[in-house]
Structure 1
Amino acid sequence: MNFIGIIKKAIHLNLDELNYAKNNFLGYKHIDADIIPVILFLIKETFYRIWLDSKAIFISNSSKGKHICFYGTKNQYNAIYPIVSNINNAEFCSIKDNKNLHLHTALGYVLSWFFFPFLLNKYVKKSKVEEKTSIACFIRSNFTVYGLFIWYSIYFSYIKPKSIIVANDHHFHFRLLKEVCKYIGIPICYIQHASVTKNFPKLDFDLSFLEGRDAYDKYSKKGIDSEVHLIGMPKFDRYSGQINNNIQLKSLGVAFNLLDDIERIKKFLNSIIKETNNIEITLRPHPRDDRINFFKKICDENNIRFSDAGEVNSFEFLGMVDAIISSESSIHLEAALMNVYPIYYRFSDEITDYYGYIENELVTDVFENHDPLIKFLDQLKIKRPTNIRERCKYYNSTIGTKHDGKSGKLIKKIFEGKKFNIN
């Protein structure tokens, strides 16, 4: 391993490409703060990583020669689970904690401090030719780029994994892993973990598992440099035997996202709680929603159920309801897969149709006011359609095929015979 060569490669990495998510997606906050608090935060984070790695030393788990499946969120974990459970010699690896195998990052953080002057110089040059961003934002976003790239290149060259598998293609850490794999020649595989939007980047992995034509068409517009297989939604496999065939609406789920307006939510809840009779209601805020206590209070005061997205799988939640109300959320697709009726309600200033569900008729009932919604729910109480899954075919290529609910086995079949063969 040529250490000088690794450094040269590291300092020529495209920082904008690595930070694709922060530059192209809603919900990623840019930092406007003084540089001193950011430096103090990075010092604290470095010592935290050292502490975290020291704990992981006592976890006896060797990754040599294995398929390492990286995840950063519970949703990504659920997406990768069918791979780990269906192919030999595969294991989870967390980029955040040491619940499973832990990805060591401490040395990468320490190395990053040696590149701090270089990073400052990079910021000065960049700010002269582009619209100036805050130095705090630039340092916070790019501090670990060089150190982690060098460390990962050395570490993965040593353990020689059969492949790296990720369930995210736009977050910094996963894009950095992709660059490392390409540099040292480790096969890298991507598996879709949620619905794709037009903002997603070019698809350039050795092997990519997409759910259906919708994802493929959107990636095609950005460019595809990958072997692609349409395999449905593997995380649905465990729940394929729980399809909802109820002919009447008796239970209703309401899911909220981070961008939903709180005042619109309050008006909606006030109306739906008062005007829906004989319907059991369950509220489910986003796991990172800092308004969670508000939702819990509403549930306690009105004797309605609360679903903790941090603890309860979305499919388990959907197994409790006959219809779902939400705005811009991929839970509409998961609901339709379970034959749960998806309903769009505008909780924000405008209807963006972020995932194209309305355009592609996955969701056919859209409401901006509660009065027509209440009337529609009354209709569902009398007769609820039970052919909702048919709407998913554009998003999920296995619907109605022999592979429906068997995406994990399909992945195993595809993996066999590849250059990273299963033992």
Structure 2
Amino acid sequence: MRFTDLFAGLPAHTLEPISPASPWKRLLKVLGYAGLRLVGNVLRKVRNPEQLRGKVWLYVVSQNNYDSLHFLREALPDSVLVAGQSKQIGRYNGQVNRLSLRRKLLYYGQLPAVYRALRRTEGKRAGRFFDLIFNALGYYEVYRRALRHYRPRAVVLANDHNDDARALLLACQTEGVPTAYVQHASVSTNFPPLGFDLSLLEGQDALDKYRQCGPVAGRVALVGMPKADAFLARRNTAPAVRRVALACNTLDDTAALTATLDYLLPEFPALTFTFRPHPGDARDFSFLAARHPTLQFSDARCETVFEFLTGQDALLAADTSTHLEATLLNVASLYYRFGTHTGPDDYYGYVAHSLVERADSLPELGAWLRRYEACKPLDLYQRATYYNATLGTPEEGHSRERAARVLREWLADPDSAARA
């Protein structure tokens, strides 16, 4: 995805922390990665608290991934949570086993050949994202070595597009290790094709989108959203909106976010507003507290999205899967773009499939909020049926059991996926 028009067209403030616009800053980033990560990994020996040999690996690349796969750690006794040696897993950093990347440094001799090949296929973007190419080198080779050493029974991933996750998937395919995928958030038609032996998707929406991404390999099962199970019984039954969340991510413009809050708080003094940035958003929003003393804040690094949403009646956000999670809890949700960035409109298709409504101006946003301030329906969650296969069925709230059952059956006969 790193060389696509979608990625290259991200707003400058979004791309900057990922791959700086200045070539000198990219060079400094590469040098920092080489010193802190590559050399740092060499100097630090990995000592894991659990045995990895012959286990089912639950590979995570983020805090959200951990939240999505942790239930399998309990459901599958021979499973272990693993991550790359220096991967940041948020508040779970100390709770995962690590795959050593000490040898990653040995594979940088292939950098010139890799760069030349990508220059031929991707053109100038190979130079623009040279730092990302540099970061990705060596994962495949190191993970192949780890697979040969530990011989895991299977590898389960919740991410199918990060460089290290893609490298592990390819390494598993080369080494003959069965792979499974558990969807951890909404997907789009810009994702790579499904290439796993078993894919556990939340609902028909995900399957339809993956079919547009390319051929679907292996077996697919629609299991609902396991991470939502514990919260569906706490669905919001408030008859009117009193608490409003504004969630943002790195795509959203700071000035537009500020203007939205400047409009909302004086316009709706009886409502309680809470601001929640994405856990990966490094911007300093402390100025909003001084600007709006009544504004509350939620730290996504400490409070899961469902924990947060149980305290809200409405959500205002742009392109985020939080819309789906809110709707599942019967929290009224509105799609509103903060700024006019070049990212795709309605990225997840929530508006197109009538999961949420949209507003294109502050007056429209205000009109929507006044309507729900007067009356909030109790059946909003039914809009999510297309996205969650267990919604409205006897297995609603039991997606974890369903996913674990399918995985256990598959682990007993991994070749069944190839025959399906």
Q: TM range, normalised to the smaller chain?
A: 0.7 to 0.9
Structure 1: unaligned runs, 5 residues or longer: 1-19
Counterpart of 1:76 (choices 57, 61, 65) is: 65
Larger Rg: 1
User: Which one-letter code corresponds to 2:299 in the other structure?
Assistant: D
Partner of 1:110: 105
CA contact (8 A) 2:236 2:310 kept: yes
Give the 5 Å matches for 1:26-175.
26=10, 27=14, 29-31=18-20, 32-34=22-24, 37=28, 40-44=31-35, 45-51=37-43, 53-54=44-45, 56-57=46-47, 59-95=48-84, 96-97=87-88, 99-113=94-108, 115=109, 118-127=110-119, 131-133=123-125, 135=127, 137-138=129-130, 140-142=132-134, 144-145=136-137, 147-175=138-166
Counterpart of 1:340 (choices 319, 331, 342) is: 331
CA contact (8 A) 1:253 1:324 kept: yes
Tell me the CA shift for residue 289 of structure 1: 2.0
CA contact (8 A) 1:248 1:380 kept: yes
CA contact (8 A) 1:187 1:206 kept: yes
Tell me the CA shift for residue 358 of structure 1: 0.4
% identical aligned pairs: 29
User: Which one-letter code corresponds to 1:121 in the other structure?
Assistant: A
Distance 1:353 1:68, change over 3 A: same
CA contact (8 A) 2:316 2:334 kept: yes
Distance 1:63 1:256, change over 3 A: same
Residue 211 of structure 1 pairs with residue 171 of structure 2: no
Tell me the CA shift for residue 420 of structure 1: 4.6
User: Which one-letter code corresponds to 1:323 in the other structure?
Assistant: A
Distance 1:160 1:420, change over 3 A: farther
Structure 2: unaligned runs, 5 residues or longer: 415-420
Partner of 1:9: none
User: Which one-letter code corresponds to 2:192 in the other structure?
Assistant: P
Give the 5 Å matches for 1:18-417.
20-21=1-2, 23=4, 24-25=6-7, 26=10, 27=14, 29-31=18-20, 32-34=22-24, 37=28, 40-44=31-35, 45-51=37-43, 53-54=44-45, 56-57=46-47, 59-95=48-84, 96-97=87-88, 99-113=94-108, 115=109, 118-127=110-119, 131-133=123-125, 135=127, 137-138=129-130, 140-142=132-134, 144-145=136-137, 147-221=138-212, 222-294=214-286, 297-298=289-290, 301-349=292-340, 352-364=345-357, 366-417=358-409
* TM-score, normalised relative to structure 2: 0.87
Give the Cα–Cα distance (whole angstroms) in 2 for the partners of residues 243 and 129 of structure 1: 49
Distance 1:144 1:258, change over 3 A: closer
CA contact (8 A) 1:108 1:144 kept: no
CA contact (8 A) 1:61 1:101 kept: no
Partner-residue secondary structure (3-state), 2:199: strand
Equivalent residue pairs, number: 394
Distance 1:135 1:307, change over 3 A: same
Distance 1:385 1:110, change over 3 A: same
Distance 1:128 1:228, change over 3 A: closer
User: Which one-letter code corresponds to 2:229 in the other structure?
Assistant: D
Give the Cα–Cα distance (whole angstroms) in 1 for the partners of residues 198 and 75 of structure 2: 17
* TM-score, normalised relative to structure 1: 0.86
Give the Cα–Cα distance (whole angstroms) in 2 for the partners of residues 304 and 398 of structure 1: 36
Tell me the CA shift for residue 290 of structure 1: 2.8
Give the Cα–Cα distance (whole angstroms) in 2 for the partners of residues 314 and 375 of structure 1: 26
1:54-101 Cα offsets, whole Å, 9 max, x none, are: 2x42x4311112111111111111111222222221121123155123
Give the Cα–Cα distance (whole angstroms) in 2 for the partners of residues 139 and 358 of structure 1: 35
Greater Cα offset, 283-292 or 231-240? 283-292
Give the Cα–Cα distance (whole angstroms) in 2 for the partners of residues 169 and 276 of structure 1: 42
